Amino acid sequence: MTGRSYLPSRRAALLSGGGLLVGAGAASAGWALSDPAPASASVTVSAVIPPDDDLMREHGVLKRVLLCYREMITRAQAGRPLSAAHVQGAALIIHDFIEGFHEGLEEGYVFPRLAKAGVLVSTVDTLLVQHARGRVITQFLLAHSTAGQLAGAGVTTRIAAAMQAFVTMYEPHEAREDTVVFPAFRQAVPPAELADLGQHFADLERQQFGTDEFTAMVDRVAGIEQELGIYDLAQFTPVVSPYEPGE
Amino acid sequence: MPTALGCAAALTLAAGCSAAAATGAPGNSAAKSAVTVKVDARSVPGVGTVLVTSTGYALYMFEPDNRHSVSCTGACAGTWPPLQLPAGAAPAAGPGVKPSLLGSDPDPAGGRVVTYDGWPLYTYTGDIQPGQATGQNIDLNGGEWYVIGPSGQPLIPAP
């Protein structure tokens, strides 16, 4: 197994077992995984993330964009204006990273292996159709969300409806992939081949985005969350005391 | 039902892809010389008559290829599997398709890709049945994707 080395990166931090600086850019921007390490700290990690784990991490980015979409839907439904920068920023993460990379890995490497094994055939067909529909929605969002367009009558409502359709489709989509499709893929692929594929995914990431694409994408979505006021995780914690079930 | 899925992953999943795209029966030298990858034309609802594979899947061109080279590789080729030309095979024109416009370009991932009027040809994984063109006019992986007519002209919708 050939290792890879990212210095410093969230990927490396995750692989190393925690406690590491996320990256100078992320830390200075105000969001980090954990307590900052000294500025001179660097970490060398030689490990390959299994391909299905890698895809599930990328689903985490997708989930966070869906959360941004939800917040924008809520604002639109309350009659509040949408920011072109927020719509475009969130949709571009989907376009560039999820649709332009993550789904290509699924379509090129995961789904064909399941087809070859003859498992989850109709599920995969549905996932493929949903990828295609999602791309159409994203194209709509990107084409209709300039500041001038968002000022037009009814445009915000249409944008919110498109976002809602996207969220409604992708929440069960990614949940099914994480819980059914990826486990079936892992079962269908011999361990050595799985390791090679993990390395290949890492190489493709590097070719397409540079050395630290995952951290960059997490930072991009975190920035939008901050501007939307939904970055602070604690705000989602419900008050449960006193709590009486059934009340 | 077979889909356009799965002819892009050169590292581990290449087995079977070339055979799926080709007609003929490889196995000995005589048979190899007869192997062809056929490009047909058929009417697809909503877009008109376009180039398709021998199994009826729409074929697309990628604007950044610029009638020059195969630029869709890696994850891009997962979504848009190129129409691969197996070693020793030749592209063949079905009815309505101009043989003089067929050719091939090297694929950076290995092998060759069938071209038409210089455009490398790709299928789209979103087309799960023959006769669809769900990838038409999509901006993805760094450029626009269009189906292509038998004349060699990409079918670019009016703005």
B62 pLDDT more than 60:
yes
Write the ipTM: 0.84
* Helix A213-228, helix A84-93: angle, nearest 10: 150
Whether residue B78 and residue A95 make contact (CB cut-off 8 A), yes or no, is no
pLDDT of residue A246: 64
| Lowest-pLDDT choice from A86-100, A135-149, B15-29, B36-50 | B15-29
| CB pairs A-B closer than 8 Å | 93
Cβ of B6 within 8 Å of Cβ of A135? The answer is: no
Query: Smallest Cβ distance to A128: which of B128, B141, B142?
Result: B128
Q: Is residue A85 pLDDT above 50, yes or no?
A: yes
Whether B19 has its CB under 8 Å from any CB of chain A: the answer is no
Look at residue A242 in the predicted model and tell me its pLDDT: 73
Contact at CB, A135 and B8, closer than 8 angstroms = no
